[in-house]
Amino acid sequence: MLKRRIIPCLDIKDGRTVKGVNFVGIRDAGDPVDLAKRYIDEGADELVFLDITATVEKRRTLLKLVERIAAVVNIPFTVGGGISAVDDAARLLAAGADKVSVNSAAVRRPELISEIAARFGSQALVLAIDTKYVEGEWRVFVNGGREITPLQTIGWAMEAEDRGAGEILLTSMDQDGTKAGFALELTDLVSKSVQLPVIASGGAGTMEHFNSLFQRTRISAGLAASIFHYGEVKIPELKTYLKTQNIPVR
């Protein structure tokens, strides 16, 4: 069985790491470079950097900050936010990102997925899906969770796979920041509908939540932010615990 990955996420606003609940109520969580260094020392498997206001503010991702973080990390590093063209992806990969994550721009123009995959390979492209349960179905949201789209989550994940995405970062907006546990039903549905690795995001609050995620779904990785940033769950202790639950981790 493939080893499951533990991934901290740096949500970036105005050059600082921040965290909210259900995509609102943002508060400061520290310097992103310092946090990146800490996660390397703690044994994180990968690191995700999301410039959460780049799309709304209609600007590119903070390139200099990406370069500073890339200089201190030696694990796979994914960067997202404000990527609307192949050239945007090229700049971030040149700045040190190993993978780029696209979301709103791919919804507006799905060809972007195929274009990035064709130029850099599927392994360099992550499709981020922000989703919420609305009137009996999982719907895709864009613009930092501010705007609902006609897309259904499962169908969009399948289309992204067909277009060349190499991985899916799935965030439940209902669970985001609540620390009430991952959206297991949603996660299981998406992971069973595609052959791609899927990263679950939204709701992690305890080590037991990761155990439930890995025991009850086919998910490849669990992502969290605030519980790692504020030291509520420490990555080395989490990995030790998961091993006692017979979950293979790196």
Question: Two tokens at 196?
Answer: 């791609």
Nearest to 216 by CA among 224, 228, 208: 208
Catalytic residue among 45, 51, 88, 130: 130
Tokens standing for residue 76: 């796979």
Distance CA 247, CA 227 (A): 20
Catalytic residue among 11, 45, 88, 188: 11
Phi, psi of 133 (to 5 degrees): -85, 115
Alpha helices in the chain (DSSP H): 32-42, 63-70, 86-94, 104-108, 111-120, 153-163, 184-193, 207-216, 226-229, 235-244
Active site residue 41: no
Which of the residues are catalytic? 11, 130
